[in-house]
A and B are shown apart, each in its own frame.
Chain A
Amino acid sequence: MATSRELKNKIRSVNNTKKITRTMEMISTAKAVVCQRRIEATQPYGDKLAEILRDLGGSGDGLSGSFPLLREVDKPTREVLFIVTANRGLCGGYNTNTLKFAEQFIDTQAANGIAVDVYMLGKKGISRFKYLGRDTAESMIHFEDRPTFEEAEAVLEPVMTSFEQGEIDGVSVVFTHYINAARQAPVVRTLLPITDEDSGDDSSAKGGGGEFILEPSPELILGRLLPLSLKMQFFQALVEAAASEQIARRMAMKNATDNAEEMATKYTQLYNRTRQAAITQEILEVIGGAEVLN
């Protein structure tokens, strides 16, 4: 049995750890709220862009030939995959789940004869791919819990250009989708090539589209709207990933705090028992000694 001094040390160290994990939990809770608010804030912008695209759909029919971004890909051979992971750990299965999902996706694509250039975001993903010996074409670590639209734009723009020039045939993002506060799951979202439903070719669009005055020309508007809408989708993925990371970390830290609490209770009980045993032992010795004297 451990001595009472050892137990005391253990209790102290567990309590210190608990303080740290509880603090991290509270920080993540606060950050998660901010991130969730950002998701809500970016929603109307994305919705409006999609709406304008839809409105434009009716009037913009037959334009697709003139846009490199809308070029159709018969047999894709090479695509870019962004993988959004965190720069820090201590967030439960967040990074592992995202990366496992991404690895599966890459392997499926490889089996279909598509080479995947991985653009890795976040230190955790970079080190895991290095460990596994998988190639990354590009790695970035400057996205933290507050990604900005400008940052997202700067990362996506060169990739869009290579798509337009035909160097790559597709662009996708793997990130942790924020479904609601209690549920997040890794998903893959295809940004390019743009599928029909994205470009507003569905039936509901055709009704309203023709009535709009389009200034200066439908081509020009579409030519600007498409890139903006792609950037926005990418940006939203980053914002959602940031929120999911904070929520995952909050959960992990909450579990750690609970565990620490449990351990501290267990050790305190053990400590009390040891102390009591020592006292009982001493009393017995005193009584024994007194008996001998009689």
Chain B
Amino acid sequence: MAGTLRCTVLSPDGEVFDGEVSFVEAHALDGRLGILPGHAPLITALGEGPLRVTLENSEDRNWSVSGGFLEVLANHVSVVAEGLREQP
């Protein structure tokens, strides 16, 4: 996979995750959304569903998200979740 992108996951209580990742998969309002490095700038509203982040060493981190937003800008994905729970 070509390169990485930075991903920040925020909940109202604070920063939950911040680091270099190779893939982000989120549940947008109108379906699933995958983001690879070099994605065009994007703002989208998130629905209820899983958020999966694949780290550089191909390990996964999973959360369940209810509502919120995802922004992609200059190879940086920011997830601003309204409700967020970590899942193993």
List residues of chain A with CB under 8 Å of any chain B CB.
38, 41-42, 44-45, 48-49, 51-52, 55-56, 148-149, 211-216, 220-221, 224-225, 228, 232, 235
| Interface contact A41-B69, CB-CB below 8 Å | no
Given pairs A42-B14, A228-B82, 11 additional interface contacts (CB within 8 A): A38-B14, A42-B13, A44-B8, A49-B69, A52-B71, A215-B45, A220-B45, A224-B45, A225-B45, A225-B69, A228-B67
Count how many pairs of residues, one from A and one from B, have CB atoms less than 8 Å apart in the complex.
79
Residues of B within 8 A of A55 (CB): 43, 71, 73
Min distance, Cβ A190 to any Cβ of chain B, angstroms: 21
Given A42-B13, A44-B15, A149-B13, CB of A224 within 8 Å of CB of B42: no
Complex-state Cα separation, A212 to B78, whole angstroms = 14
Given A45-B80, A221-B45, CB of A215 within 8 Å of CB of B30: yes
User: Which are the 4 A-B pairs with shortest beta-carbon distances?
Assistant: A41-B14, A149-B12, A215-B44, A213-B42
Say whether chain B's binding surface is mostly helix, strand, loop, or mixed.
strand
Min distance, Cβ B72 to any Cβ of chain A, angstroms: 8
| Interface contact B13-A41, CB-CB below 8 Å | yes
Say whether chain A's binding surface is mostly helix, strand, loop, or mixed.
helix
| Interface contact B80-A224, CB-CB below 8 Å | no
Q: Chain B, 27-69, contact with A by CB distance < 8 Å: what is the 0/1 string? A: 0111001000000111111000000000000000000000111
Q: Which of A38, A215, A216, A228 contacts B68 (CB 8 A)?
A: A228
| Interface contact B29-A48, CB-CB below 8 Å | no
Q: Which of B10, B11, B15, B44 contacts A214 (CB 8 A)?
A: B44
Residues of B within 8 A of A44 (CB): 8, 10, 14-15
